[in-house]
Every structure is written in C-alpha cells, then in structure tokens.
Amino acid sequence: LSSIQDGDVRVVAPEAVDDLIEVLIRRGYHVIGPIVRDGALVHGELTSGRDLPVGVGAEQDAGRYRLKERADRALFGFAVGPSSWKQELLPQRELVWTGERSGEGWTFTSTSPRTPPVAFLGVRPCDLAAIAIQDRVLDRQELGPTPYRARRDRIFTVVVECGEPAATCFCASAGTGPAAGPGGDLVVTEIVEPDRHELVVGARSQRGAEVLGELGGRDATVEDRAAAAAVTEAAAARMERSVDIRGVASLLARNPEDPRWDDVAARCLACANCTLVCPTCFCTTIVDTGDLSGDHAERWSRWASCFDLDFSHMASGAVRPATRSRYRQWLTHKFSSWWEQFGTSGCVGCGRCIAWCPVGIDVTEELAAIGTEREVTI
Ligand code: SF4
Ligand code: SF4
C-alpha cells in the first residue's frame, strides 16, 4: 500500500501545486524543486507551478541521460536527476572561518552559515531515505550543533512518490521506494491517466496538515487511496534493476581479492562523478587559503571523494594509489562496512551513479559479478 494511507489525505487538481508554492512562500519558505537547466532536471527556485517541468520526462541508462517530451502534462513524470538534496544540506563549498592579522597577531572568526527556511518540493522516496542516512552520519549527538543540523531544522519536506522509475532505479530492492517511507511533511502521489489527472496529498506533520488545509480539494476516498497505491505498485513492478541489499554486505567483505576488481578498475576513470551525484556520500575536506598580503586567511570545507588520489594521503603517500583499491573502497564502504558503521546500507537505489558514470559502470552489474565462479579458459 502507498504510504499515505493514514492521517489527512486530500485530492486536489494539478493546478493546486501553484497554491502549494504560494502557501509555502507566504509562510516564509524559499521553495526549491525540479527545474530544467542545461538539458537536465536539476534543483532550482520555484516561484509558481509554471517553473515546474510540465510534460517533461527523462530517459536514463548506464552512462546516459536525455530529456524527453511526454505525451501528457505530468508535473513529476521523471525519476531523480543529477541534483540531490545534499547540495542544500551539505553545500559543496562552505566558509568555516576567516582570520585577520593585526599588530597583536591573528584574530579568527567562525562563520555561521545563513539558514533560511527552505521547502524541498519533489523529494523522491529514495532521497527521503538518503536524508535519513545523512542524518545518522552528520547529525550525531557527539558533534554538537552543526551547520547541517541548523539547516535540517529549517526544512519543510514535500515528498513526491514515484510513478515513473528510470531504467537505472533499484529503490524497490533497496527498500526505499517507490512509495515513501517515514518522514516528510506532505506526501504527494500524482495520478496521471488518460481521463484523470489529480494529486493525492497526505499530511505527515502538524504543519503539513496546516498547509494541506489551505489547498482546497476534497477528502480522499478509499478508491482514491487505492489509485495512489496502484501508482507506486506499478512503478515497483516496472523496475528492472535490483540488488540484494543485505546479501551483498557479506559478499563484498568476503571477496576483497575478487578478479572483478581488476576488471572494473580497467574501465573506471576515477573521475569521482559517482560520489558527487550520490545522495549519501558525505566526505568533505578542509582547504586553507590566504591572500598575497599574508594578513587574511580563510578555511573552507568542500566535498571530497574517495576516488581522489589525495583522499588517502598519509605521511608515506596515498594508501590507495590504484584505481582498483579506490573503486573497491567506494563500493565496499557503500554496500558493506556502512552497515557496521551506521546500521544501514549506504545505498538507497537511486541509480544516479549508474546514469552519471561517463563510462557506464553499473553498480548493480558489478555487485552481481563479485564472487561469482569463473570458468578458466586455458
Ligand atoms: S551508490 Fe549509486 S544508486 Fe546507491 S545511493 Fe549512491 S548514487 Fe544512488
Ligand atoms: S565508477 Fe564511473 S563515475 Fe565513478 S569514478 Fe569510476 S568512471 Fe567515474
């Protein structure tokens, strides 16, 4: 069943998305959602429903992403694109402190990031799960108050369940979609049929119920709820890729010397695209800079990748100098040792790393190949 079976559930016309954006803006939120830019569906500011990519879809496959025109006026007729919400919650580049030198020496000032209230509109179920995973990593009690926590506290989340999985999606096997798991303020299911186009909207929080109350529409009937559930059930049934998300953890731990690591290393460019688009990859590094006068210094935090040679640099040099060891580190951490570290898989099955790998390396294919018996031809 769809996850929006309980609580307040209303059925509204697709045009009500305009009202939703207006209500959120009136309540002080900066609204971010899917827009078309540079031939892809990315996150951008929404000021009205006109900013949404109406009737736009996307074809995805290993190493391939293309926008396409849909035959209908679906608002959310596509799966995830290259943007993930970590861009908003853990910015790519962020100033940590500045330092000024005067006669008495250096004075350092910590920077507090601006954290305006932001509404995320169109969070896919896999990305909702990815945010929960990043919470476990970046919002641990021992870290104290962090910019991440400050941002998290200011988010209003509108989840949109998936009716149109890409060929790269495998969230059903990861247990994260296409119906929404726990969390969020509102959950939307878009029903697009030849004679029906409506949004079934459920509230998941008090403030979600307040916003929903301003959207009009009618109470959802049992039939409406069943129609919404059918959307995600059909999407799950169409998904072609899958991973045994529990089983691969021990498989990877048992096979650090599998010949497949050499095979994939021969194809991998170590470009780091997969880690940049992955919604759960969280590594950052620190960069200190100074100006030519020597009186001004800055410390920046920026995204890092385990595919960078410098990532494992220690006194004697890089611990993982070969692409083979870097790819193995990435896949093994994400699908295996993440369980021991954070109690979940590090993968939510969004498929981004498959589509955005320039040479089309497919994690589902690599995982299926590890540990399989090979015939030796002499
Ligand atoms: S490893 Fe790939 S499929 Fe899994 S969450 Fe990251 S980008 Fe998505
Ligand atoms: S797997 Fe693909 S995206 Fe990831 S580092 Fe290698 S070439 Fe780049």
pLDDT at 378: 47
Higher local confidence (pLDDT), 371 or 88: 88
| 3-state DSSP assignment of residue 299 | strand
Ligand 1 centroid to Cα of residue 256, in Å, is 20
Cβ 363 under 6 angstroms from ligand 1: yes
Tell me the average pLDDT of the chain. Answer: 94
Cβ 334 under 6 angstroms from ligand 1: yes
Query: Model-level pTM?
Result: 0.94
Confidence of residue 2 (pLDDT cuts 50, 70, 90): low
pLDDT at 235: 98
Ligand 2 atom index nearest CA of 326? 5
pLDDT at 372: 83
In contact, 154 and 118? CB cutoff 8 Å: yes
Confidence of residue 145 (pLDDT cuts 50, 70, 90): confident
Q: How many C-beta neighbours within 10 Å does residue 119 have?
A: 26
Ligand 2 atom index nearest CA of 272? 5
Cβ 276 under 6 angstroms from ligand 1: no
Cβ 307 under 6 angstroms from ligand 2: yes
Which ligand lies nearest the alpha carbon of 366? 2
Q: Which residue has the CA at smallest separation from atom 8 of ligand 1? A: 350
Which sign, positive or negative, has the C-alpha torsion 172, 324, 287, 291?
negative
**123-145 average pLDDT score:** 93
**309-324 average pLDDT score:** 90
C-alpha distance from residue 176 to each of 124, 132, 162, 172, 230 (Å):
10, 11, 11, 6, 17
**312-330 average pLDDT score:** 92
> 178 preceded by cis ω (within 30°)?
yes
Cα–Cα distance measured from residue 122 to residue 223, given in angstroms and rounded to the nearest whole number: 24
Cα–Cα distance measured from residue 185 to residue 68, given in angstroms and rounded to the nearest whole number: 30
Q: Classify the phi-psi angles of 264: left when phi > 0, otherwise alpha if psi is within -120 to 50, otherwise beta.
A: alpha
Q: How many C-beta neighbours within 10 Å does residue 181 have?
A: 17
Of 347, 354, 356, 364, best ligand 1 pocket probe by most atoms within 8 Å of the beta carbon: 347
**366-372 average pLDDT score:** 92
In contact, 56 and 71? CB cutoff 8 Å: no
Cβ 349 under 6 angstroms from ligand 1: yes
pLDDT at 364: 98
**284-298 average pLDDT score:** 95
Cα–Cα distance measured from residue 196 to residue 73, given in angstroms and rounded to the nearest whole number: 11
**235-239 average pLDDT score:** 97
3-state secondary structure 96-131: EEEEEEECCEEEEEECCCCCCCEEEEEECHHHHHHH
Confidence of residue 376 (pLDDT cuts 50, 70, 90): very low
**103-107 average pLDDT score:** 91
pLDDT at 375: 44
Ligand 2 centroid to Cα of residue 227, in Å, is 39
Confidence of residue 373 (pLDDT cuts 50, 70, 90): low
Ligand 2 atom index nearest CA of 353? 3
Q: Is the pLDDT of residue 5 over 70?
A: no
